[in-house]
Amino acid sequence: MALSENNNGKKIIWIIIICFFAVLSPVLGWFAFKSIANSGLFVLSGADKAAGIFKKPFSAGGSLGGNQSETETCSNLKGTSPKEIDCARRNIDGVYVEPGQENLFPIAAIIENHIDARPPSALSRANLVIEAEAEGGITRFLAVYADGSEIKEIGPIRSARPYFVDWARELSALFIHCGGSPEALVKIARENVFDLNEFYNGTYFWRGKSRPAPHNVYTSTENLNGYLENKKAGEGKYLSWQFKDDAALPEGEIGKNVKIKFKTPDYYVDWVYDRESNGYIRYLAGQMHKDADGVEITAKNVIVMYVKAEVIDDESRLKMQHIGSGKAIVCLDGKCEEGSWEKKSGSARIRFYAGDNEEFKFNAGAAWIEVVRPEREVIIK
């Protein structure tokens, strides 16, 4: 009887021990897992956590390697210096990019601004834009793309003028246009400009059906990259400007806005400073200027470049004194400062200098150069 009772007691003790470990083991296992996960030995995505999948840590060269932040990448630095990641400034606009992406071959396209050509396509995607008058006070854009983005529609593409040719030449860019003035076409041929004229290369362009000619010529980066590949174009071959990190506008200080009164109100331009982005929002004819897809046009740097011009023919075409030097106003970080511009030759890069003759350092991001004749009114306030 006593032996039977002893055996029953032992069974009860073993049952208690087994139950204790059955409950305790998962708890200990969970705490061990959390400790390992928090130490960084394993990296799990949300989907992996749900599925209970373990992954090995990223290698030192991966996006989370070493001491790098999980969210800090070259593409999202937004005007601030990289801390522990390897980035390079892009030549065209100073934006931080992965090494090897800083000097892509530039494309410079003539985009028109006639009332019947609005809204444009992909003007907001340009890294650099130069706006200048063509005929009758109507302005036109030279839009430069050099960041490797895929853009499905660029345009409307319009005809060349000699000064636009020289602004494209200083970047050694592929110059995109649809015909041109006689002087511009002679200049392109005589100076062996690397260009793509829709008149003779229609397969790289198309005519849109929503607008009448001549306001309906478009192209895409896919088409243009195909042309560059056929021509075996390599990296860009131009001198970069100087760039800096954003500077904060002092608290309570109101940023300066820029109004440019081209010949008629349909072409009046306003650049309104936006403190949140430390950039400028563009307005055209009193309305926010947007692309055809609804994206607003903005810039990190706005430059007013005064250039004398005169009408030279019955078509009201202009001859601009765009080579030499003159007055400039540079606006960035909510402030505007008078200075000067200089372009020593047709192929030389435009340079902008402050009053102390030091070259301006621009913020990383899009720059707009507004080429203004001295008789046009510019208001800074």
Residue 36 pLDDT > 50: no
pTM over 0.75: yes
**Top-confidence residue, 299 or 60:** 299
What was the pLDDT predicted at 85?
86
**CA–centroid distance for 25 within its chain:** 55
**Top-confidence residue, 77 or 189:** 189
**Top-confidence residue, 1 or 221:** 221
pLDDT digit string, tens, across residues 214-268: 999 999 999 999 999 999 999 999 999 999 999 989 988 999 999 999 999 999 9
Percentage of residues in the chain having pLDDT higher than 70: 81
Section 172-185 average pLDDT: 97
What was the pLDDT predicted at 66?
34
What was the pLDDT predicted at 76?
78
pLDDT digit string, tens, across residues 90-130: 999 999 999 999 999 999 999 999 999 999 999 999 999 99
Residue 301 pLDDT > 50: yes
Task: Given CATH 3.40.718.10, say whether it is the number of domain 107-380.
Answer: no
Mean pLDDT of the chain: 86
**Which residues, in sequence order, are bridge partners of residue 129?**
143, 368
What was the pLDDT predicted at 12?
56
Distance CA 240, CA 350 (A): 10
Distance CA 96, CA 244 (A): 11
Question: Helix crossing, 182-190 with 162-169: angle to 10°?
Answer: 30
If pLDDT is split at 50, 70 and 90, which confidence band does 27 have? very low
Distance CA 235, CA 98 (A): 15
The domain segmentation of the chain, as residue ranges, is 2-51, 107-380
Distance CA 164, CA 346 (A): 10
pLDDT digit string, tens, across residues 5-21: 445 555 555 555 555 55
Section 304-321 average pLDDT: 94
Distance CA 218, CA 215 (A): 9
Section 356-362 average pLDDT: 95
pLDDT digit string, tens, across residues 40-82: 333 333 333 333 322 222 222 332 233 334 467 887 777 778 8
If pLDDT is split at 50, 70 and 90, which confidence band does 315 have? confident
In sequence order, which residues have a C-beta less than 8 Å from that of residue 221 and are 6 or more positions away? 107, 145, 149, 150, 151, 152, 154
